[in-house]
Structure 1
Amino acid sequence: MASNNIRAARTVRRALPLVSGVSLISLLAALPASAQQAATQPAPAAAYETGEYIELDPITVVATRTEQSWIDTLAGVSVVRPEQLEQMMPVRTEDLFRGMPGVTAIQNGNTSQTSINIRGLQDFGRVAVIIDGARQNFTQLGHANAAGSFFVEPGLIADVDVVRGPVSNIYGSGAIGGVVTMRTKDADDIIARGQTWGVETDGEFGSNGPMGYGSVLGAAQIGENVDLFGGGTFRKQDEYKDGNGDTVNNTGYETWTGIAKATFRPADFHEIKLTGLNYESQYTTSNEDSATTTQYNTDVANRTVTASWNYSNPDDNLFDFRSTVYWNQVEQNQVKVAGSNNAITGNIGDPRTFTIDTVGFDAYNTSRFEWGAVQNAVTYGGDYFHDDVDNVDNYGFGDGYNPSGERGVGGAFVQWSAKYANWLELITALRYDTYSLDGDGVSADGDHLSPKITLGITPWSWLTVYGTYAEGYRAPAVTETLVAGDHPAFFPGGAPPFEFVPNPNLKPEIGENKELGVNIKYDGLFTAGDKLRVKANIYQNDVEDYIELVTYGPPRCIVPNPSPVGPPCFAYNDYSLAQYQNVEEARLRGFEFEGTYDARKWFFSLAGQITEGEVTAGPDEGQPLSTIPPDQLTATLGARFLDEKLTVAVRWTAVAAKTAADLPDDSVYEPTDSFNLVSIYAGYQPSPNTLWRLSVENLLDEQYTQYQNFLPSAGLTVKGGLTIRFGGGQVASAATPALITK
């Protein structure tokens, strides 16, 4: 009986907003019997209209590390849950973030690595990406690589949570742009309630390539206090065609994953989870869509091991403890297979390797108490990670762009959240960060205190207005600090055009974010059972000591004259030195909006952003930032039929042009045209264990290239999928059934 209560409490704590001083098991038991029964079986459409079914908003901890409803969070937070993932039918990691305001996933067609841009900030950890509690810190800098990327199979993802801006400074150093957390599937996602084991099989096929995907995931409950989960996936994509019908070179890839988890509950309200994840991908990458450009056969492996210990007793207000230790390794092996022989990329057949090992931990606790009419939650903890970068290129300049070295980053924080009479909420936090960095005889270190204060007012139950000031702190990366040496000559016989100079005196970046937002939550607006949810905000993030690669020094001869007759040099480079420096201050401003209206029979959502950014101090003052994404708007309209067994939806995304006037003079990115994408989706679920899916992406066969990508995206693509779940066994009925959220 105790284990059933533990399982119910764990599910309810994910499902309900923060309640101070109240047993959640008791709270659930107090619900009407009809509401309890609704949690154990699918609800017919009529149940929403009569109020017999309670559907809760998605719960997130990404902004404050305490459970809150997504719509109640006083920050720019977006979440993706299984229902949305089923509609997306994500093939590439970038698909997980489509239509998310203020967030751009950058993924060229010839690679499986992805970089995240939030509000115009990206690269070198400005956006913290965390998968199953483990930070993803891989960087491979080059002429066509973003300086910070990660690898994950979208078919394994169960939840995605994103907070925009440095408002979540309790997550550690670096997140001056925001935080992205992803959770992979687990036993709770596979085993149906009341059963002891389950299997999920998934198959997909796409026309443009073609492409295919398959997965088998299984889970079992051993006794009452042990859950086991494991499985694997395989995905294959052949070269796709763009909107003009032309085949885009080197856009094929293969990806395999294996995952295993074990969950133990050794005592009441204690949970230990062990996770192992292995990701492997093979593809051919190049700097442009040309058969003659430099190309590499790439094999990448992303390996993650995590161990977590959590304690959560709804009746214990003093301790609500979470902890994780992890190891993540990304190893990318490349062999040059095409292109001219030169000192920058080496000769055909030459190998190179980029490896990073990250070990770290994260631990925090929340204590709750009441002080008169004020409900309080104090969260405090610390975290640390250590990066060991080992890059080897004995034939080219790959390890020149990406020097080896070590970096340790850690900190501690305390956060106080106070709520008064359901209309006033105050959140204050203070974080201390420190870091040290070593490599090639160069070392650096630093520390900083980052404050945060948020005030939210709810004048009516359906409306909350909030304001925030928060700072974020980003320690310089190994590459920025240690990059050194002569850049190889551009052609045989030439001289090095310039020299990279290390900079141990780099100051960390500090983001100072001011934000005003509004949350709207209204049920029964037009009909019984309908739901309106709106989040909108405006912000200004001033980044001090912005780090940028600077070129300077006298011109350097790159084509010397070997003859004593004539000029000593036939060609010069404009500069002789390059170094990462704190030369600029940047200001980023914008507006973000996302809203949904769901009347069960039909639903509508609208999301978009306007973003601008410029240099406000330094030699490039007044220049726009090259990393600002184009403005965009996404609208989705859908309907449910056959007692909600059939769902159909159409999505329209409009993306503005990025003109030359929007880019700085020395931008490495090309302007892009505006484009419109139309996609349709249909999902039929004849039973709780079977789901048929069909989608048509880029229905109008639009020819387009996303900003910061150099390859055109795929044209018209038809995808179909089938998911089948089955299971068995029977457990003793829980004393209190758990609510289920979407």
Structure 2
Amino acid sequence: MLRSKISLAICTALVCSTTQAQTETPTFYLEKITVIGSSIDSESDTTQSIDIISRDEIRNSNAQTIPDVFKSSPNVEITGGPNASVKSISIRGLDQDHVNVTIDGARQSYSHSKKGSWAINPNYLKSATVTNGTSSGAAAGAVKLEFISAYDLLKPGASFGGLVNTGFRSNNEQQTLSGSLFGLHNNFDWLFSATDSSRNPYSIGGGYQRDGSDTYYKTGGEEQSYLFKSGYDLSSDQRLEVSIYIDKSKWDQVRQDYGYNSRDYTNAVLTYSNEALGNDLVDFHANVYINQVDTYTVEYTDETKVTTSDTQKISDDSYGFILTNNSQLNNVFEETLLHYGVSGHFTSHKGEIGTLEDGAWIDESAQSEPSANSHQLGTWINAQMDLGNGFTLTPSLRYDEFYVESSNAEFEGQALLRDGRTENQWSTGLRLNQQLSEKLALFAAYDEALTAPRLSELFTSGRGFKPDPNLKSERSQNKEIGLTFKNKALLTDDDSLLAKVNIFQNDIKDYIGTDYSDPNYKDGVKVNRDKIRLRGGEILTQYQFNTWITSASYAVTIGEDLKTGQYLSDMPSDKIVVSIENQLDEEWRLGGKATHALKRHRVPTASTEAGGELVPIPENERQSVPAWTTVDVYAEYIPAKLEDLTLSMSVTNLFDEAYALQNDSRADSKAEYYEEGRSININLAYNF
């Protein structure tokens, strides 16, 4: 199927004219670091900071989860650990609840503390993209995942094939086995993949004796996942595609809770696209989707895992649609590109309690997990206008509506949201880009967003969080300025340098944060803060010489409560990432990456108690995080005489660093929240 002419025109119109989004092997691009520019294929298309991670990069990073895929992306932090099944991400200091996440075009709203947020196997990804800054109606940004298809795996000229993968991690003895079959017949393509994976608890770094004292029994788990993806080209410019993904996972609850979770996850998407070749006004894309997540928890008492009589089932079901169109107007200015559309996302959340003896569910009985329904509607238009002389103007307008209700929610004897509640906002945006020369460009941006609270924040205590049904939606205003530099022949005819520097300030009214003012809820109380300010920036460079590619990035985010003057506790550490890669010959590729996180010293010095009183926190109890450094190395070998075989090898945390991403003062030992130590990882793939 031919690539959209509109998308190609847009990519050319923006600052960086060759991004990984448009070609599999571009001759000039920013690899593994943030780039400027994107094609109009999402709700927000402006000159934004985007990190596009290819399938090869995902494989070489040995990512176990989706958060692992983004762990080196600038200003992206991994949160929620230590169990891989409950890890999440934050972007520029805002957690995943502030992010617009889509998988093959289906919006994801499932986000539940202690019960995970991601159920996607990274082995199935064709690409993963993270956008920093307000995007698609979300204050933090956007994450876009795309599954592989038969076209990505078939050999040239072949109509049928298969792929077998087997992998092993030494630290937690994780074993993974997957297989795929795929084919192409006339205009019909199909792919079916299955994966089975299991892992033991991992050992933390630091050279501890491997006697079990450096492990935490809640970091083990298992997963089975399945992907079916098929498409039919109705014509040269029209395509119908279906994607069905199923995941079944099991893991222990983390932190101070005791229970074994099992999750059934299903995501199904039907997509229609019409690029209308020869018609500049039509580049239409539509999808409808269903997302169902059922999580079961069997409670136990302690490490012996002796079960009690209660079990819990939580259902998060959603369905929705997204309709978009792109139009190119050549008679307005030098070129005008319009991107507009409408979306609807409908969610239901339900909790039930049962007994182990008879397995019967008692509907709508769990006060901490009530029945609740919500919907989010959105419509938008972006106009990217090339005004000439290297100047591009992109105004945008968006409307969002959020509605929530509950038929049975109660808290402390009070009925919650029986009549429902609606919030809405018109959001504006304006982005300016000036191409000063062939090498240098400047940009400035202003974007607004309405970010609605999740059902888990409004109602769910999880026996640790105190719900707050009165939470209001957040309203953010993000300002950003920066510059990009590119030179294809810096020192020789065979080298190139790319660099980007930007700073941002995001002011958020009614920010949803966490206070620890109620001792009955050890995991905190969700509250609206009058106004918080996030500020920071990113510095990114990449130098390429022949077969060598080196890159470096530095990112910082500072969060402050403007009312109290206190730093926010959940901001990421300042982080430096340096990587190097070399294609030695046709058979061998080698690479390495070093990550250094500076000591997190900007932490609250006082806590908010009942009544809003600020109480000083003793210096030895402040949630600072020590500095840490990790080094990863990898190698990929494809034998010249056996091109169907690929051997990938890596060593993560090469020097066995003992480090933590967050400080958990409630833990009994470092093993309860420290990250994985050194691991030797091997993956063998055979494509026939």
Q: TM-score, normalised by structure 1?
A: 0.78
Contact 2:433 2:443 (8 Å CA) reproduced: yes
User: In structure 1, what is the equivalent of residue 177 of structure 2?
Assistant: 214
Residues of 2 paired with 1:671 and 1:684: CA distance? 42
Residues of 2 paired with 1:63 and 1:414: CA distance? 18
Contact 1:325 1:361 (8 Å CA) reproduced: yes
Query: Per the alignment, do residues 720 and 316 of structure 1 end up closer, same or farther by CA in structure 2, a change over 3 Å counting?
Result: same
- Structure 2's unaligned 5+ residue stretches are 14-22, 356-361, 409-417, 609-616, 665-671
Query: Per the alignment, do residues 77 and 664 of structure 1 end up closer, same or farther by CA in structure 2, a change over 3 Å counting?
Result: farther
1:295 aligns with 2:258: yes
Residues of 1 paired with 2:449 and 2:591: CA distance? 39
Secondary structure of 1:84's match? helix
Contact 2:633 2:651 (8 Å CA) reproduced: yes
User: In structure 1, what is the equivalent of residue 661 of structure 2?
Assistant: 706
User: In structure 2, what is the equivalent of residue 437 of structure 1?
Assistant: 404
User: In structure 2, what is the equivalent of residue 692 of structure 1?
Assistant: 647
Residues of 2 paired with 1:340 and 1:678: CA distance? 33
Secondary structure of 1:250's match? helix
User: In structure 2, what is the equivalent of residue 320 of structure 1?
Assistant: 283
Query: Per the alignment, do residues 196 and 544 of structure 1 end up closer, same or farther by CA in structure 2, a change over 3 Å counting?
Result: same
User: In structure 2, what is the equivalent of residue 177 of structure 1?
Assistant: 140
Shift of 1:208: 0.8
Q: 1:468 aligns with which of 435, 438, 445?
A: 445
Contact 1:15 1:56 (8 Å CA) reproduced: no
Q: 2:587 aligns with which of 645, 664, 675?
A: 645
Shift of 1:419: 1.5
Deviations 1:172-225 (A, max 9, x none): 4xx1111111111111211123322222222211111211212112221111x1
Q: 1:237 aligns with which of 194, 199, 206?
A: 199
Secondary structure of 1:350's match? strand
Shift of 1:13: 7.5
Shift of 1:431: 0.2
Deviations 1:377-412 (A, max 9, x none): 011111010110011246899954443300011011
Shift of 1:474: 1.1
Deviations 1:467-517 (A, max 9, x none): 000001112333444469xx98x9xxxxxxx986642xx432111000012
Query: Per the alignment, do residues 703 and 19 of structure 1 end up closer, same or farther by CA in structure 2, a change over 3 Å counting?
Result: closer
Q: 2:678 aligns with which of 694, 703, 716?
A: 716
Shift of 1:105: 2.4
Shift of 1:611: 1.1
Aligned letter for 2:197? Answer: R
1:88 aligns with 2:61: yes
User: In structure 2, what is the equivalent of residue 493 of structure 1?
Assistant: none
Higher relative contact order (Cα pairs below 8 Å, separated by 6+ residues): 1
Q: 2:578 aligns with which of 626, 632, 635?
A: 635
Query: Per the alignment, do residues 582 and 665 of structure 1 end up closer, same or farther by CA in structure 2, a change over 3 Å counting?
Result: closer
Which stretch shows the higher mean deviation, 542-551 or 604-613?
Answer: 542-551
User: In structure 2, what is the equivalent of residue 676 of structure 1?
Assistant: 629
Shift of 1:420: 3.4
User: In structure 2, what is the equivalent of residue 26 of structure 1?
Assistant: none
Contact 1:682 1:693 (8 Å CA) reproduced: yes
Aligned letter for 1:273? Answer: E
Q: 1:66 aligns with which of 18, 21, 40?
A: 40
1:135 aligns with 2:98: no
Matched ranges for 1:585-664 at <5 A: 585-617=531-563, 621-642=564-585, 644-659=586-601, 661-662=603-604
Query: Per the alignment, do residues 340 and 267 of structure 1 end up closer, same or farther by CA in structure 2, a change over 3 Å counting?
Result: closer
Q: TM-score, normalised by structure 2?
A: 0.84
Aligned letter for 1:671? Answer: S
Shift of 1:131: 1.3
Query: Per the alignment, do residues 319 and 385 of structure 1 end up closer, same or farther by CA in structure 2, a change over 3 Å counting?
Result: same
Residues of 2 paired with 1:321 and 1:655: CA distance? 44
Secondary structure of 2:198's match? strand
Residues of 2 paired with 1:229 and 1:499: CA distance? 44
Contact 2:343 2:379 (8 Å CA) reproduced: yes
Contact 1:626 1:663 (8 Å CA) reproduced: no
User: In structure 2, what is the equivalent of residue 309 of structure 1?
Assistant: 272
Residues of 2 paired with 1:479 and 1:714: CA distance? 29
Shift of 1:320: 0.4
Deviations 1:123-161 (A, max 9, x none): 5x21122111122212334xxx49x82221111112111
Deviations 1:395-444 (A, max 9, x none): 89995444330001101111100113461111111001112111032511
Aligned letter for 2:499? Answer: V
User: In structure 2, what is the equivalent of residue 386 of structure 1?
Assistant: 346
1:457 aligns with 2:417: no
Secondary structure of 1:189's match? helix
Secondary structure of 2:69's match? helix
Query: Per the alignment, do residues 528 and 62 of structure 1 end up closer, same or farther by CA in structure 2, a change over 3 Å counting?
Result: closer
Secondary structure of 1:348's match? strand
Query: Per the alignment, do residues 704 and 255 of structure 1 end up closer, same or farther by CA in structure 2, a change over 3 Å counting?
Result: same
Which stretch shows the higher mean deviation, 391-400 or 212-221?
Answer: 391-400
CA RMSD of aligned residues (A): 3.5
Q: 1:358 aligns with which of 295, 318, 321?
A: 318
Shift of 1:107: 4.5
Aligned letter for 1:229? Answer: L
Secondary structure of 1:10's match? coil
Secondary structure of 1:95's match? helix
Query: Per the alignment, do residues 539 and 402 of structure 1 end up closer, same or farther by CA in structure 2, a change over 3 Å counting?
Result: farther
Query: Per the alignment, do residues 708 and 154 of structure 1 end up closer, same or farther by CA in structure 2, a change over 3 Å counting?
Result: farther
Q: 1:281 aligns with which of 226, 249, 268?
A: 249
Deviations 1:75-97 (A, max 9, x none): 12111012322321212333201
Residues of 1 paired with 2:466 and 2:547: CA distance? 64
Aligned letter for 1:278? Answer: I
1:108 aligns with 2:81: yes
Aligned letter for 2:107? Answer: R
User: In structure 1, what is the equivalent of residue 507 of structure 2?
Assistant: 542
Secondary structure of 2:656's match? coil
Secondary structure of 2:370's match? coil
Shift of 1:453: 0.3
Say how many residue pairs are matched.
632
User: In structure 1, what is the equivalent of residue 395 of structure 2?
Assistant: 428
Residues of 1 paired with 2:243 and 2:202: CA distance? 34
Secondary structure of 1:112's match? helix
Secondary structure of 1:286's match? coil
Shift of 1:581: 4.7
1:509 aligns with 2:471: no
Residues of 1 paired with 2:427 and 2:441: CA distance? 26
User: In structure 1, what is the equivalent of residue 232 of structure 2?
Assistant: 264
Query: Per the alignment, do residues 708 and 398 of structure 1 end up closer, same or farther by CA in structure 2, a change over 3 Å counting?
Result: farther
Secondary structure of 1:240's match? coil
Shift of 1:17: 5.2
Shift of 1:548: 3.9
Query: Per the alignment, do residues 500 and 544 of structure 1 end up closer, same or farther by CA in structure 2, a change over 3 Å counting?
Result: closer
Aligned letter for 2:596? Answer: A
Residues of 2 paired with 1:468 and 1:627: CA distance? 25
Residues of 2 paired with 1:338 and 1:686: CA distance? 52
Contact 1:119 1:611 (8 Å CA) reproduced: yes
User: In structure 2, what is the equivalent of residue 413 of structure 1?
Assistant: 380
Residues of 2 paired with 1:677 and 1:655: CA distance? 9
Structure whose alpha-carbon radius of gyration is higher: 1
What fraction of aligned residue pairs are identical, expressed as a percent? 24
Aligned letter for 1:122? Answer: D
Residues of 1 paired with 2:88 and 2:605: CA distance? 20
Aligned letter for 1:468? Answer: A
Aligned letter for 1:673? Answer: P
Secondary structure of 1:155's match? helix
Shift of 1:660: 8.0
